[in-house]
């Protein structure tokens, strides 16, 4: 009989608690135990990056992490990027800038770009290319992926400025 360990992992903001075998890879925990199939299995050797998820905000290749190593941590998968039924600007950017073709690498690309934009909301093209360098795409040639990230950065910046402007207007009207 295999020894199992209870893990508690916050996945996309929701606490998950379950028993797993110590050798279960995080990618298989996400897909097979939780049923979140947006995280893909590619090479199983950490080369391609299609299994990328965010572990405490940092991109990791989930084929290289055991589920027990994620115990007590937070994970974001592609299913946790859109909020309240609204696509995240990165998801919109990939659609608008044709940053995907077959779509197999897209979830991992988006999560790597998400982590980049969290750290650096105004990345240069070189920084974007570095930020997604752990993710391989065999279809697009990367230029449209870079454009998609630039689109998202501009949209997030625009929304932030609009939010700040609305907040300033509210403060002025409340003061008067």
Assign residue 129 the CATH number of its domain.
1.10.150.120
Domain end (from 35, 56, 80) = 80
- Tell me the C-alpha distance between 41 and 46, whole Å: 10
Residue written as tokens 């790597």?
112
74 and 3 belong to one structural domain: yes
- Taking the model in full, what pTM does it have? 0.90
29 and 98 belong to one structural domain: no
Q: Output the pLDDT for position 160.
A: 86
60 and 87 belong to one structural domain: no
Phi, psi (degrees; rounded to nearest 5) at 32: -85, -35
Residue 175: pLDDT above 70? no
Q: Output the pLDDT for position 173.
A: 62
Each residue's pLDDT tens digit, 45-78: 999 999 999 999 999 999 999 999 999 999 999 9
Residue 56: give the domain boundaries.
1-80
Q: Output the pLDDT for position 174.
A: 64
Q: Output the pLDDT for position 170.
A: 59
b/e sequence 78-108, b meaning 16+ C-beta within 10 Å? bbbbeeeeeebbbbbbbeebebbeeebbbbb
Residue of 161, 109, 174 whose CA lies nearest to 139 = 109
- 58: in domain: yes
45 and 94 belong to one structural domain: no
Domain count of the chain?
2
């Amino acid at each position: 009989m295999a020894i199992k360990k209870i893990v508690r992992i916050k996945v996309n903001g929701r606490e998950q608690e379950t028993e797993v075998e110590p050798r279960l890879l995080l990618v298989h925990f996400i897909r097979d135990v939780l049923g979140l199939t947006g995280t893909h299995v590619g090479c199983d050797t950490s080369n391609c990056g299609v299994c990328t998820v965010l572990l405490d905000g940092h991109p990791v290749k989930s084929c290289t992490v055991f589920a027990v190593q994620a115990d007590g941590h937070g994970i974001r998968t592609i299913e946790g990027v859109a909020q309240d039924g609204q696509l995240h600007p990165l998801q919109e950017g990939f659609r608008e800038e044709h940053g995907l073709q077959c779509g197999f690498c897209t979830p991992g690309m988006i999560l790597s770009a998400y982590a980049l934009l969290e750290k650096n909301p105004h990345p240069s093209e070189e920084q974007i290319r570095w930020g997604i360098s752990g993710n391989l795409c065999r279809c697009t040639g990367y230029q449209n992926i870079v454009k998609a990230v630039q689109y998202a950065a501009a949209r997030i910046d625009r929304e932030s400025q609009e939010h700040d402007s609305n907040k300033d207007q509210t403060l002025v009207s409340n003061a008067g």
